[in-house]
C-alpha cells in the first residue's frame, strides 16, 4: 500500500469517527485563540480551558492584556507550566499587536511567527482555526502518528509537515489536523498503541508485529 492509498484509507476512517471537528481550545476571537494556543505548549487543552476564562475575564484584547502586570498574568497561567516564559510572551505580543497592528491578529503566517513567543506550529494553528486558511500544524504527537502510519520518515516536525501537505489535498488540511489530534487522544496514544493496536495502524500496516520505533523530532 503506497502513501496515497494509505491517505485515502485514513481519511475514510477519520471521517467515520469525526464528522465534526470543533476547535478544542475555548476562544472568542483570533486574539484569545492565539493566547490559548501559546498556553497549550507542553500543557493539555483541558487545563488551558480552565485557565483562560479567568485570564480573559481580566483582559480579552491586546490593549487590556498589556495593561496587566507580569505578576497578574503569571499568577493565573501558572498551572499551564512554563509560566514565566509564557507570561512575558503574552504581555509582549499584546504590546506589539496594540502598537503595530491596531490590536488585530495578522492573518499572514510570517507576520504571526514574528510575534513574541509564537512559533511556526502556533502560527499555523491560528491561521487555520481562526481564519480558515489552509495549514497543517504538526506537533510531536502528529509527528509520531504520521510515522506509525507510514506517511513520513521525517526526523523532525517540519519535514513531517511537508510530507503530509504533499500527500493530502490542501482543502482537507485544517479538518485533518484536528481529526488526527482527536484520533491520537482517543485511539493511538503515545503510550499505548505503538503502531499495533488502533484501526488505522493495523489497516495501514497489517504485517507489523513489533512496536514501532519512532524517529525523535
Catalytic-residue membership of 121: yes
Please report, for residues 3, 18, 62, 91, 170, the alpha-carbon distance to residue 34 in angstroms, rounded to integers and kept in the order given: 33, 24, 11, 12, 23
Which H or E element spans position 211? none
d(CA 13, CA 52): 33
User: Cell 493496536 maps to which residue?
Assistant: 197
Contact 148, 103 (CB under 8 A): no
Q: Check 6, 86, 139, 175 and give the catalytic one.
A: 139
Number of H helices, E strands in the chain: 12, 0
Contact 24, 45 (CB under 8 A): yes
What sign does the CA torsion over 45, 51, 54, 57 have? negative
Q: Check 6, 121, 163, 175 and give the catalytic one.
A: 121
Catalytic-residue membership of 16: no
Exposed e or buried b per residue across 26-63, where buried means at least 16 C-beta atoms within 10 angstroms of its C-beta:
ebeebbbbbbbbbbbbebebeebbebbeebbeebbebe
Q: Which residues are catalytic?
A: 121, 139
Amino acid at each position: 500500500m503506497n502513501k496515497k492509498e494509505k491517505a485515502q484509507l485514513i481519511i475514510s476512517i477519520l471521517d467515520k469517527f469525526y464528522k465534526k471537528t470543533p476547535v478544542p481550545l475555548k476562544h472568542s476571537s483570533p486574539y484569545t485563540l492565539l493566547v490559548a494556543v501559546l498556553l497549550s505548549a507542553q500543557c493539555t487543552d483541558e487545563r488551558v480551558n480552565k485557565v483562560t476564562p479567568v485570564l480573559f475575564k481580566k483582559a480579552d484584547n491586546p490593549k487590556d492584556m498589556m495593561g496587566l502586570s507580569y505578576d497578574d498574568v503569571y499568577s493565573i497561567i501558572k498551572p499551564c507550566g512554563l509560566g514565566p516564559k509564557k507570561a512575558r510572551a503574552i504581555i509582549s505580543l499584546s504590546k506589539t499587536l496594540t502598537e503595530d497592528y491596531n490590536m488585530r491578529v495578522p492573518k499572514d503566517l510570517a507576520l504571526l511567527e514574528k510575534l513574541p513567543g509564537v512559533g511556526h506550529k502556533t502560527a499555523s494553528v491560528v491561521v487555520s482555526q481562526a481564519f480558515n486558511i489552509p495549514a497543517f500544524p504538526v506537533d510531536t504527537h502528529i509527528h509520531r502518528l504520521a510515522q506509525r502510519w507510514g506517511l513520513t520518515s521525517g526526523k523532525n516536525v517540519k519535514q513531517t509537515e511537508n510530507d503530509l501537505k504533499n500527500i493530502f489535498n490542501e482543502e482537507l488540511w485544517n479538518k485533518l489536523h484536528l481529526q488526527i489530534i482527536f484520533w491520537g487522544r482517543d485511539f493511538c496514544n503515545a503510550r499505548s498503541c505503538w503502531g499495533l493496536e488502533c484501526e488505522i495502524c493495523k489497516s495501514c500496516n497489517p504485517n507489523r508485529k513489533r512496536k514501532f520505533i519512532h524517529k525523535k523530532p
